[in-house]
Amino acid sequence: MTTTTTVPPELGTFPRVVQRNATTFGERPAYREKAFGIWQGWTWIQAHEQVRALAIGLIDLGVEPADKIAVIGRNRPAFYWTMIAAQYVGAIPVPVYQDSSADEVAYVMEHCGARFAVVDDQEQVDKLLDVSARTPILERIVYVDPRGLRKYDHALLHDFAAVQEKGRTLRAELDPELDRRAALAAGGDAAVILYTSGTTGRPKGVVLTHDNVLATAKNTCAFDSLSEHESILAYLPMAWVGDFVFSMAQATWAGFCVNCPENAGTMHKDLQEIGATYFFAPPRFFEGLLTSIRIRMEDASAFKRWLFDGAIERARAVGPALLEGRDVSLPARLLHRLDHALILGPLLNATGLSAVRVGYTAGEAIGPEIFDFYRSLGINLKQLYGQTEACVFVTQQPDGEVHPDTVGVPCPGVEIRIDDSGEVLYRSPGAFREYYKNPEATADTKDAQGWVSTGDAGFFDSSSGHLRIIDRAKDVGRLANGHLFAPKFTENKLKFYPDILETVVFGRDRTFCTAFINIDLTAVGNWAERNNIAYASYQELAAHPKVYGSIQSHIEAVNRSVAEDERLFDCQVHRFLVLHKELDADDGEITRTGKVRRRTVEQKYATLIEAMHDGSDQVYIETEITYEDGRKGAIRATLEIRDARVEPRADAAAREPAADAARAPAHA
Amino acid sequence: MPPHANRQRMPHGHPLMREAMSMADPAAAAGAPPVPSVPVMELGHITLRFGGVTAIKDISFDILEGEVRAIIGPNGAGKSSMLNVISGFYHPQEGEIRYRGKVRPAMKPYQIARLGVARTFQNIALFKGMSTLDNIMTGRLTHMKSGLFAQAIWKGAAEREEIEQRERAERIIDFLEIQAIRKAPVGSLSYGMQKRVELGRALVSEPSLLLLDEPMAGMNVEEKEDMSRFILDVNDEFGTTIALIEHDMGVVMDISDRVVVMDYGAKIGDGTPDQVRNDQAVIDAYLGVAHE
């Protein structure tokens, strides 16, 4: 197996692969960025030249081998070039989330000891100047967008274009040095350090080697037959492993084009224009897109709604079957063609997904409803399962073998085993080298034989042979009555309702389960508008009795569905409240990638959880909130707590409802 | 140096575009904006009457090159009339207006626009059915030379001109960060966004003097902060002289270099924000005076 899953040494590092691309794919587009309303493009030859000019500029600035270079900005070719240029000169790029607070940036910069930073604009420069006042490590900041920086002290600031320009003038002098450094690099060297946002504790720096990343790229490109003809939209945070693997590793390995949107707000328009053929988005994106389609359709005329509903219903019946190459009767096939030409095709165009050949989602479970919706439109949407430590890919669904509740088969080269406690472990060429400067954590996660613990509980589905993930292993527990508690099971079912953005279910060591609900302002706001419900703020809307009423009906529907699962029967939600604020990354309640930090939420809202379990009907809370610029404020609210109907156990039908009605203040 | 000579070094994020432009002049790029000393406009003893009502009584002040000059005052103080005098929309019965040292005769609005004066309106005067981009392009009208016929065929000079104008409009769109609404009809945008588009239309004409009539009116805190930043950025990056009327005292004091205070058509204060804030006449006008 090892022969097929490793990369040859002549392509063993990123700079060498880019060099090959300049020769092999020379005039093919490598990067595009929309700027001033037009897509600007660079071929592989031009991109290679940009990278070399920058690399020489970096040598001139004093970058030494093994230096760390922090990269902070939105997805732009300049930053992909920066990462390759850093690797060229033997340094290690460390992408940092651009929306991190100064504290978070300071921690990462200090931990990795970055002497250099390449950043986007004034906002990031301000953050770094703040950081450099605290830690003396940072020596040079290179910025891409000079706007607003004219009056700054330029003692440690450099303009990106000027650094490249300097690099071009020094070419004759420093070309040999650059080539010497590029030749010294080996596949086992660190290609990047990615700080995991982590749902617990301080972020850890995951060190991925060129071997890790390129082998993963090679195997997974082969798995989905990705070639230089793909096109991808780079819009997910550059500090996230996914963007590094899709837009850096796979794109350079296969030689396909990376398209960078104009800014965050234009992502959708840009996706539509580019027509990506390979696309990744978290479930939240697909949920949001479906919600916006539904909202638009609810506002449309009755006739249009009838057309839409009919086409979708027919597509649900035949779409997935066609995608998987199963037999469909001729009339159904013809009608589906017609639907596609008149209704589904234009709809697909509006979503920007019409050209997608391979689409992936991961990170959280996606609702079967949502998943099927896109597949019935003919989008080859699949799920994968992965983590930073594995260069993303652990398992993925092959074409034609897609089940909404599983995450697929092991990726090429990956071995998986389930240990006695039910935790999923894997061993693969992509498995990380270490956590930077943290040998204890490395030893905890990766054993001597190279098996890496995922921290997720799962099992192989006996009928399909695909992996199924239950929940984070440490979140799975027991209720006070000893029954299994897996919060994500219930949460995922709840989140499939468009008006529920986020939810957190509590119940470990308690007598029954309770839930926090975050409403989706877009969906609920639109609903309120159509029903003439006036509100002045998020808080007021969230507390509206009608909103509570509709959430309650969702919860009761979910309870019925949860009750069908024998093992997780007790994960039904008995009581709930609608939170007065959205859980937010700036408040540390969710990670930058949008995962709930359960412990933080439990601590911060302990009074609310207590109140839900002691039988109170309302509870007062004062919450500290953090504004985007780091200032603090407080909001106060009195929240209503409601009971939801739960399904009684069939065998105890006589006893259970009575106990439910007379629920005593129960927390031990 | 004319103030908008700076425009050639306008900030824009795109490395290639920037390479294509002159990288030559590092001294100017790093240089400080011009010291405000030369008056762009001097208003001498202006009196404006509407029939029997005197809107402005004998007011004199000047606007210096490169400064942010605010005109404040309670409701009905005559601020908007003053801005209309500056923009040439009203012709005062008495007094003289000097623009760049020369007495400015009564002019039509389009003639004033050609002098390099642009403005925004208190009530937003955009073409609601047109897109953001088209609205901003109308601001380039004074710079278009090709005739109706050439525009219709759209060949040669007319085509080149259109591309050049579009490029400048795109720079402003980039500057104001309104890429996402480029193609959206202006009527569908929020009030704050419309204000931004209107600023864009004024900016794209490359004014040397920009007049803003209550740029923050009706905005929420966040929109006000954004708008303040854009006003300061315009002043800083393009060296544009700015005269503005604003109700929100906090904003005015934060972003202005000098402030004129009006009350009942007369000037009651003039100076830096600090001076004005501590001026007894101004405090009285805003807080009221106890009558003995």
CATH of range A2-277; options 3.30.2130.10, 3.40.50.2300, 3.40.50.980, 3.90.1150.10: 3.40.50.980
In this predicted model, what pLDDT tens digit does every residue of A200-229 receive, in sequence order?
Answer: 668 899 999 999 999 999 999 999 999 999
pLDDT of residue A425: 95
* A334's tokens: 């013809």
Domain-embedded: residue B152: yes
A339 Cβ under 8 Å from any chain B Cβ: no
pLDDT of residue A599: 87
User: Per-residue pLDDT averaged across A146-163, rounded?
Assistant: 90
Band of residue A51 on the pLDDT scale cut at 50, 70, 90: very high
Locate the chain B residue with the closest alpha carbon to A36.
Answer: B170
Contact state of A36 with B236 under an 8 Å Cβ cutoff: no
Please determine, for residue A359, whether its predicted confidence score (pLDDT) is greater than 90.
yes
What is the longest distance spanned by two Cα atoms in chain A?
88
pLDDT of residue B9: 33
pLDDT of residue B23: 35
Helix (H) or strand (E) holding A610: helix A606-614
* A42's tokens: 């660079």
B171 Cβ under 8 Å from any chain A Cβ: yes
Contacts of A263 in chain B (CB under 8 A): 177, 179-180
**By three-state DSSP, how is residue A317 classified?**
helix
User: Per-residue pLDDT averaged across A268-272, rounded?
Assistant: 93
B79 and B195 fall within a common domain: no
DSSP A400-413: T---TT--BEEPTT
pLDDT of residue A650: 67
Domain-embedded: residue B172: yes
Tell me how many degrees the CA angle A404-A196-A206 measures, rounded to the nearest 5: 110
Please determine, for residue A196, whether its predicted confidence score (pLDDT) is greater than 80.
yes
Please determine, for residue A648, whether its predicted confidence score (pLDDT) is greater than 90.
no
Domain-embedded: residue B31: no
B81 and B3 fall within a common domain: yes
B13 and B110 fall within a common domain: yes
Domain count, chain B: 2
**By three-state DSSP, how is residue A462 classified?**
coil
B105 and B1 fall within a common domain: yes
B35 Cβ under 8 Å from any chain A Cβ: no
B186 and B216 fall within a common domain: no
* A485's tokens: 């508690």
pLDDT of residue A555: 95
Contact state of A148 with B237 under an 8 Å Cβ cutoff: yes
**CATH code, B268:** 3.40.50.300
pLDDT of residue A493: 85
pLDDT of residue A663: 40
Taking CA atoms, A577 is separated from A499, A641, A648, B165, in Å, by: 14, 5, 22, 55
In this predicted model, what pLDDT tens digit does every residue of A452-463 receive, in sequence order?
Answer: 999 898 889 888
Nearest one of A170, A164, A180 to A54, comparing CA atoms: A164
B288 Cβ under 8 Å from any chain A Cβ: no
Band of residue A109 on the pLDDT scale cut at 50, 70, 90: very high
Please determine, for residue B14, whether its predicted confidence score (pLDDT) is greater than 50.
no
Domain-embedded: residue B32: no
Domain spanning A477-661: CATH superfamily: ANL, C-terminal domain (3.30.300.30)
Per-residue exposure over A152-170, b if at least 16 CB sit within 10 Å of its own CB, e if not? beeebbbbbbbbbebbeeb
pLDDT of residue A292: 87
Contact state of A263 with B180 under an 8 Å Cβ cutoff: yes
What CATH code would you report for A283-354+356-472? 3.40.50.12780
Domain-embedded: residue B201: yes
Band of residue A284 on the pLDDT scale cut at 50, 70, 90: confident
Band of residue B20 on the pLDDT scale cut at 50, 70, 90: very low
User: Per-residue pLDDT averaged across A311-331, rounded?
Assistant: 86
Tell me how many degrees the CA angle A338-A285-A290 measures, rounded to the nearest 5: 40
In this predicted model, what pLDDT tens digit does every residue of A415-454 receive, in sequence order?
Answer: 999 988 789 999 999 999 999 999 999 999 999 999 999 9
Answer whether A70's CB lies under 8 Å from A96's CB.
Answer: yes
Q: Which of B17, B32, B233 sits opposite A36 (nearest CB)?
A: B17
B184 and B239 fall within a common domain: no
Which of residues B174, B205, B236 is at a domain's end?
Answer: B205
Contacts of B177 in chain A (CB under 8 A): 263
B93 and B157 fall within a common domain: no
Most confident of A14-23, A148-157, B237-246: A14-23
Out of A357-361, B35-39, B176-180, B263-267, least confident range: B35-39
In this predicted model, what pLDDT tens digit does every residue of A11-34 receive, in sequence order?
Answer: 999 999 999 999 999 999 999 999
pLDDT of residue A283: 87
B63 and B96 fall within a common domain: yes
Band of residue A668 on the pLDDT scale cut at 50, 70, 90: very low
Strands B102-103 and A38-43: unpaired
Domain-embedded: residue B131: yes
Structural domain that includes position B94: 1-24+38-116+208-292
Residues in chain B: 292
B214 and B78 fall within a common domain: yes
Residues A400 and A200: their CA atoms lie apart, in Å, by 37
The whole-angstrom distance between A30's CA and the closest CA on chain B is 15
B223 and B254 fall within a common domain: yes
**Which among B6, B12, B16, B166 is the top mutation candidate for probing chain A, defined by the most A β-carbons within 10 Å of its own β-carbon?**
B16
Domain-embedded: residue B121: no
Please determine, for residue B19, whether its predicted confidence score (pLDDT) is greater than 60.
no
B111 and B219 fall within a common domain: yes
* A378's tokens: 């003919």
The whole-angstrom distance between A556's CA and the closest CA on chain B is 38
How much is the mean pLDDT over chain A? 89
Band of residue A4 on the pLDDT scale cut at 50, 70, 90: low
Answer whether B267's CB lies under 8 Å from B61's CB.
Answer: yes
Answer whether B38's CB lies under 8 Å from B3's CB.
Answer: no
pLDDT of residue A366: 80
B32 Cβ under 8 Å from any chain A Cβ: yes
Out of A2-6, B97-101, B246-250, least confident range: A2-6
Which residues, in sequence order, are bridge partners of residue A396? A384, A409
B186 and B250 fall within a common domain: no
Which residues, in sequence order, are bridge partners of residue A504? A516
pLDDT of residue A114: 94
pLDDT of residue B27: 38
Domain ranges within chain A, ordered by starting residue: 2-277, 283-354+356-472, 477-661
Which of residues B151, B182, B205 is at a domain's end?
Answer: B205
B14 Cβ under 8 Å from any chain A Cβ: yes
Give yes or no on whether A283-354+356-472 and A477-661 have one common fold: no
Contacts of A38 in chain B (CB under 8 A): 170
Contact state of A165 with B23 under an 8 Å Cβ cutoff: yes
Domain-embedded: residue B93: yes
